[in-house]
Every structure is written in C-alpha cells, then in structure tokens.
Structure 1
Amino acid sequence: MPSRVFHASLKMLAFAACAVLAFALAGCAQEPPTPVPFKPVPPERILMPLYTQPAPGLVAVDVRRERGADVIVRFRDAPVYIDGQHVTDLMNGEHVVFYLSPGVHRIGVTTQFDPVVELRFMVDPRYTNRASVAFDKDHRIQIRRVAQ
C-alpha cells in the first residue's frame, strides 16, 4: 500500500515538473531574439579605400547586407559598386559606410548569379542615408533605401 502512495506522489510530482517546464519554455518563445549588430566589412576587403574615408563636405551612406537564414544565399558574397566602381563585397550581416558628395550616386549590387542591380541614391546631409541589401523569395539580390 505505501508503494502505491509513493508511485502516485511521484507521478504527481513528474506531472507538476512537466507543467512548470512547459510554461517556462512557452514564456521564452514569446520573447523576440536580441538583434545582432552588423559587422563592418574588414579593411582588407575594401578595394577602393577612398570611398570609405570621411572628409569635409562628404556625407556618410551606410549600406547593410541583411542577415538571411536561407542557406542558398547566406554564403554568397555581394559585390558593391559606387558609380560603377567595384568598392567591396558584402557578406551576410555586414555593413560598410561610404563617404560620398551630396547629389545622386549609383549604388549597385550583384552576385555571381545576378546582373548588377542599381539604385539611384540621393545623398543629402539632411536625411538618413542608408541602403539595405537583401534577397527576395526567388534568391535574387535587391537593394533599397531604408529609414533609420
């Protein structure tokens, strides 16, 4: 008889532990993941350092490669062009800051599978100057201006 009581108590304790664990895991799942900061492109991958050096009269333009979980595009490099000049390559989760004169510039991106996609980018010190590079559902590269 005492063993039945012991087994019943043990089952009740196991059930209670499972319920507490389920509630704890459910609470964790609702919290959004902490955003990971973008990594700067390493200096050795900057082909034209002139575009990444601040100077009087130039405006910072931040170009970011959005993180993607899709394995098909995650490890592709994305060459970046400023006014037709190949300046650097962006990898998943990287960014680069260019210093450009005010006015319209062409920022282009590509991959080994895509033609160059260009964005006519108005550089203006009064506005946020940020562009986002990402891949669409068909794994094609895109670039667009984004707000800060």
Structure 2
Amino acid sequence: MPFRPVPAERILKPGYTGPGEGLVPVDVRRERTRNVIVKFRDAPVYIDGERVTDLMDGEHVTFYLKPGVHRIGVTTQFDPVIELRFLVDPRYTNRASVAFDKDHHIGIRRVAQ
C-alpha cells in the first residue's frame, strides 16, 4: 500500500516542501504499524531545528533541501526530539524512515530505496 502524502493544511513551513533549482528531494516516511499504542500518535518533524509538519501512520512528506548536511528530527508528546544528521546529496537515495521501537519510542534512520 503506498504512503499517503501529508495534507497541505498540516505543512507549517511550506518553504521546505516546494521544489526549486539546486534543491534535492528528501522523502521522510512514517512506517505503518498495527500497534494501537503508537498508531494514532502524531510525530512532529523538524528540519534544522524548525518544526515543518506532523506525520501520521502511513504518511510521507518530501522536503527539498540544499545539498549538504541537515538535521531531520522527530518526536512525540512522550519522546524528546531525536535528530538524524542527514547528508543530502543528489547522487544518493535521500530517504528516511520514522518508526517506533518495541518500547514505543520514536526513531528515525536513513534507508536505501
């Protein structure tokens, strides 16, 4: 089942979600879960310290960022912000996965396509 895009009304900083010259797409996906304890929690997403949107179960958002190292962070109302130093490079697959561990804590990691 494909990931659903985050609705436009939940994008708090639209400057990060529009393509532009010299910008590289970075796809951030929230993995689906059957665990009802975390399924309905929103997961705020930060780019370089700025809150940009919230991800719900099975959603994704594409950010357009300048090449270089950026910080992509996620959290919940129960977790501190977890940041991933993410090298944005047009030669690589630029995708990150947001998921919950067995203890219901949120995490983020870079994934291959």
Q: TM-score, normalised by structure 2?
A: 1.00
Distance 1:116 1:74 in 2: 18
Question: Shift of the alpha carbon at 1:110?
Answer: 0.0
Distance 2:109 2:27 in 1: 12
- Which one has a larger percent strand, Structure 1 or Structure 2? 2
Distance 1:133 1:94 in 2: 10
Distance 2:36 2:10 in 1: 23
Which residue of the partner structure matches residue 24 of structure 1?
A: none
Provide the secondary structure at the position in 1 that maps to 2:83.
strand
Which residue of the partner structure matches residue 100 of structure 1?
A: 65
- Identity fraction in percent: 81
Which residue of the partner structure matches residue 127 of structure 1?
A: 92
2:46 pairs with 1:81: yes
Distance 2:18 2:95 in 1: 17
Written as runs of structure 1 = structure 2, the 5 A alignment for 1:1-148 is 36-148=1-113
Question: Shift of the alpha carbon at 1:53?
Answer: 0.4
Q: TM-score, normalised by structure 1?
A: 0.76
Aligned residue pairs: how many? 113
Letter in 2 for 1:83: D
- Which one has a larger percent helix, Structure 1 or Structure 2? 1
> What is the alpha-carbon root mean square deviation over aligned residues?
0.2
Gaps of 5+ in 1: 1-35
Hey, which bits of structure 1, 4+ residues long, moved more than 6 A?
Answer: none
- The higher relative CO (CA closer than 8 Å, separation ≥ 6) is in 2
